[in-house]
Homo-oligomer: A and B are copies of this chain.
Amino acid sequence: MDSRSAPRALRGLPSWLVSQASLTAAGLVSGQLSRTGAHRWHYSVLAALHESGPASQAELGRRVGLDRSDVTAAVGALASAGQVVRETDPADRRRNTVRISDRGTERLQDLDRLVHSAQDQLLAPLSPAEREELVRLLTVVVDHHGAVG
């Protein structure tokens, strides 16, 4: 589609713009990650583990905004690939403690490069100052609804 031909009623709509932007963003990120056969939650989960340390699956889901059921699948896949270790927490046998492995850390660095290059593609038409401002505004919006709604 040539988005510039879209109705002004849509083009002026923040929800429509953000949805279109999200679509192209997802395409760019997936495009980059697919070069190594990775998916988006791959990166999210590894990044969360690397940054905030081991966690239960439920906790992990809260961090990155994934449903428990989806975390189960994600962690399962990562564990099969040896990028993550899953063992039941002896202190609370309901929990599975998940921690990132060395291989997972290496993997994360690869994905990091790919994801960031996708960001450059996405924000290509914006100046550095504009990119910063966009991130700021989106953060305000997301935080507001993450906390309130």
- Which of these binds chain B: A73-81, A82-90, A99-107, A130-138? A130-138
Do the beta carbons of B6 and A29 come within 8 Å of each other? no
State A115–B19 Cα separation when bound (angstroms): 14
Measured between beta carbons, the chain B residues less than 8 angstroms from A133 are 133, 137
Question: Which residue of chain B has the shortest Cβ distance to A112 in the bound complex?
Answer: B9
Chain A interface, number of residues (Cβ within 8 angstroms) = 66
- Cross-interface CB contact of A1 among B4, B19, B65, cutoff 8 Å: B65
Mask, A15-29, CB within 8 Å of B = 1, is 111111111111111
Do the beta carbons of B141 and A7 come within 8 Å of each other? no
Measured between beta carbons, the chain B residues less than 8 angstroms from A145 are 3, 24, 122
Do the beta carbons of A62 and B5 come within 8 Å of each other? yes
Measured between beta carbons, the chain B residues less than 8 angstroms from A24 are 141-142, 145, 149
Indicate whether A113 reaches chain B with its CB closer than 8 angstroms.
Answer: no
Question: Which residue of chain B has the shortest Cβ distance to A118 in the bound complex?
Answer: B15
Measured between beta carbons, the chain B residues less than 8 angstroms from A4 are 143, 146-147
Do the beta carbons of B115 and A144 come within 8 Å of each other? no
State A138–B123 Cα separation when bound (angstroms): 10
Q: A17-B135, A20-B146 are in contact. List 10 more A-B contacts (CB 8 A).
A: A1-B65, A2-B62, A3-B147, A9-B48, A15-B118, A18-B138, A20-B142, A125-B140, A126-B141, A130-B137
